[in-house]
Amino acid sequence: MFFKEREIKGVFEIKLKSIKDNRGFFMRSFDDNLFKEAGINSNWLQENHSKSLLKNTIRGLHFILPPYTDGKLIRCIRGKVWDVYIDLRKGSDTYGKWDSIELTEDKHVCLYLPSGFAHGFCTLTDNCEILYKHDTPYQKDFDFGILWNDKDIGINWPVDDPIISEKDKNLISFEKFTKNYGGL
């Protein structure tokens, strides 16, 4: 595994090493010792699996409110997604900044987000599947999000006519989140 910190401090792109032969491949997708050596000390408590059937589906921008904010380890196991995250950490030098990374079934890359980030993605192919490890169990009453196309954030989504859930269409603005919560 190779750990590379992204532009936003605390976020890591993790390149996985696969051993290939005529049968396919073998790959270690998580190693607690290697994560700790890279400074990532997470205790994964839950894993979720998301499937999006159609290209141009946007999911997000989701997070869990305090005191249940969670770190995530995200990996695309089928298809290709454009993964986006926004720094919502109180006092962070990059508060309100976003970044993105393409995750695909073939690249064998994971994304580590520490606690305090909103997360979403856009499918670039049909039939995309994502696995998420979480270091805090899901708390329905604290499930929250910011509007995917908020003008103050200014994410340049790679799609003109996205497929979006009613829930995600009705999330609050970044400005309202900041005014009401001040960050995570």
Query: Of these residues, 85, 108, 132, 134, which one is catalytic?
Result: 132
Q: Give me 51's structure tokens.
A: 């499937």
37-72 residues labelled b (16+ CB within 10 A) or e (exposed): ebebebebeeeeeeebeebbbbbbbbbbeeebbbbb
For this structure, is 62 an active site residue?
yes
Torsion of CA 47, 51, 52, 58, to 10 degrees: 0
Contacts of 72 (CB under 8 A, 6+ apart): 111, 112, 113, 117, 119, 132, 133, 134, 135
Query: Of these residues, 62, 68, 95, 181, which one is catalytic?
Result: 62
The distance between the two most distant Cα atoms of the chain, rounded to a whole number of Å, is 56
- Are 81 and 90 within 8 A, CB to CB? no
Active site residues per annotation: 62, 132
